[in-house]
Chain A
């Protein structure tokens, strides 16, 4: 114990920034609950920064913190705060962070949309795609709503990976992969080793028997060309 020294180092972490025109507890509660219902696992205990750029009145930081805890989110700090708001946030035990260049642009970009339809805009700084670190096993289903899906392991036979965006699989694809699930025909499936039960892009699908041939058990890209599925070299 005695020869262990304390270390303090700067680091960068991906955090989600929450922007919402109405920062009353009741508004946050309804809108956040809706958002979370779409992907409960994805946001479970996620660290969140509250964007105060357009904030007119003084939010009840203590109550908001409480709400986040109940929703299984972790409010770590605020950004874009005026000096008075900054002080109040700090009194509530929150960190006051500097808004980075990129996220400022993103937050501003989100603002007009939020006026038209008062929805919660979470701006994830470096976590755009859904990333699965392990293998997806038989019987499991993963859905990346509104984004790309990256699977670092294999997708087992009897497993299903679905994304509204593209799908990238760095292991072997033995199960089913469904890209462009919301109908976007420009989406693709990339995999390191193709042995799929089914691949589908925007509703056009091929079963494993149609995949036999040049690319079977090899790396491949699946895409749509003139409403027709085609296989191509990965690189």
Chain B
């Protein structure tokens, strides 16, 4: 049975697409056949972060409209086995996605894939609702600041009332908190909410904490998901996150300010 996971947040620019790319790649690295769907119709940037923008021929909307089939449209990732991208359209408007159409595509993908990751657009309008409607699990991406936490709370409300599982009275969507762009120094100074603050406010399980990291910017500039940069803090944090998503117990890292050692202080780093 394929698992449908929505990566959502309410607020824009918090790291949904970065996280979709990283988690999707991580699941595939673990041997699970995975497809990442870009629901951000009209913007389209999953393909940029995955570095496959020049290989986009058809898109999600083409498949829904029957103008292309999945086989023609899915982009097979060049670096990672088991990984496919279903890109968004840049030219259509958001209303191009219909519930029936999305359901048809998801059902077809479910025959073939272990994980279907839905990279949601920002907001709480139709596009975001469509991305979360069919989900079995949700990764709620949140930055440690008040407005992002508030929007995540809002999205959690939608997950528990406006999703297919809610409407049909099935088991609730499994909700995970992914705290991204976490900066322990700024938390210490009281400029940002702490992990505990956010956990307390949202009261859902913590899936991962991704530090604010230059590695993310380098990765997206080179069109390579940051999880492949296994040396980097953010890469390692995403690897841990994927392990937890698969049910493993992994301790949390990068939560406190790193005390620089004597050598590091002398030689920099």
Q: Which residues of A contact B (CB under 8 A)?
A: 44-45, 134-140, 153-154, 156-159, 171-172, 174
| Shortest Cβ gap from A126 to chain B (Å) | 21
Does B165 belong to the interface (CB within 8 Å)? Answer: no
For this complex, 17 residue pairs linking A to B, each with C-beta atoms less than 8 Å apart, are A44-B169, A134-B172, A136-B157, A137-B160, A138-B150, A138-B151, A138-B153, A138-B157, A139-B124, A154-B203, A157-B153, A157-B201, A158-B153, A158-B154, A159-B157, A171-B203, A172-B200
Given A138-B154, A139-B154, also A153-B161 (CB < 8 A): no
| Shortest Cβ gap from A162 to chain B (Å) | 16
| Shortest Cβ gap from A156 to chain B (Å) | 4
Nearest CB to that of A157 among chain B residues? B150
| Shortest Cβ gap from A47 to chain B (Å) | 13
Find out whether the CB atom of A140 lies under 8 angstroms from the CB atom of B157. Answer: yes
Does B28 belong to the interface (CB within 8 Å)? Answer: no
A45–B124 Cα distance when bound, in Å, is 28
Find out whether the CB atom of A135 lies under 8 angstroms from the CB atom of B156. Answer: yes
Mark contacts of B115-129 with chain A using CB atoms, 8 A cut-off: 1 yes-contact digit, 0 otherwise: 000000000100000
Query: Which residues on the B side are within 8 Å of A136 (C-beta)?
Result: 157
Chain B, 185-226, CB within 8 A of any chain A CB:
200-201, 203
Query: Which residues on the A side are within 8 Å of B124 (C-beta)?
Result: 139
| Shortest Cβ gap from A91 to chain B (Å) | 30
Q: Which residues of B contact A (CB under 8 A)?
A: 124, 150-151, 153-154, 156-158, 160-161, 169, 172, 200-201, 203
Query: Which residues on the A side are within 8 Å of B153 (C-beta)?
Result: 137-138, 156-159
- Selected from B150, B161, B200, B201, the residue in CB contact (under 8 A) with A140 is B161
Find out whether the CB atom of A174 lies under 8 angstroms from the CB atom of B169. Answer: no
- Selected from B154, B172, B200, the residue in CB contact (under 8 A) with A137 is B154
Find out whether the CB atom of B161 lies under 8 angstroms from the CB atom of A156. Answer: no
In order of increasing CB-CB distance, the 10 nearest A-B pairs are A137-B157, A138-B153, A156-B153, A138-B154, A140-B157, A139-B154, A137-B153, A137-B156, A139-B157, A138-B150
A140–B201 Cα distance when bound, in Å, is 16
Find out whether the CB atom of B169 lies under 8 angstroms from the CB atom of A45. Answer: yes
Nearest CB to that of A135 among chain B residues? B203
A174–B150 Cα distance when bound, in Å, is 11
Nearest CB to that of A195 among chain B residues? B201
A26–B96 Cα distance when bound, in Å, is 44
A134–B157 Cα distance when bound, in Å, is 10
Query: Which residues on the B side are within 8 Å of A138 (C-beta)?
Result: 150-151, 153-154, 157
Nearest CB to that of A156 among chain B residues? B153
A152–B169 Cα distance when bound, in Å, is 19
Query: Which residues on the B side are within 8 Å of A44 (C-beta)?
Result: 169
Nearest CB to that of A137 among chain B residues? B157
Nearest CB to that of A153 among chain B residues? B203
- Given A138-B154, A140-B157, A157-B153, 6 additional A-B pairs, CB 8 A: A44-B169, A136-B157, A137-B154, A139-B124, A154-B201, A157-B201
| Shortest Cβ gap from B180 to chain A (Å) | 20
A140–B150 Cα distance when bound, in Å, is 12
Nearest CB to that of A41 among chain B residues? B161
Nearest CB to that of B155 among chain A residues? A137
Query: Which residues on the B side are within 8 Å of A154 (C-beta)?
Result: 201, 203
A171–B204 Cα distance when bound, in Å, is 13
Query: Which residues on the A side are within 8 Å of B201 (C-beta)?
Result: 154, 156-157, 174
| Shortest Cβ gap from A72 to chain B (Å) | 11
Query: Which residues on the A side are within 8 Å of B200 (C-beta)?
Result: 172
A154–B202 Cα distance when bound, in Å, is 8
A134–B203 Cα distance when bound, in Å, is 10
Q: Which of B150, B151, B169 has its CB near the most chain A CB atoms (within 10 A)?
A: B150
A137–B124 Cα distance when bound, in Å, is 14
| Shortest Cβ gap from A205 to chain B (Å) | 22
Query: Which residues on the A side are within 8 Å of B172 (C-beta)?
Result: 134
| Shortest Cβ gap from B206 to chain A (Å) | 15
Query: Which residues on the B side are within 8 Å of A156 (C-beta)?
Result: 150, 153, 157, 201
| Shortest Cβ gap from B165 to chain A (Å) | 13
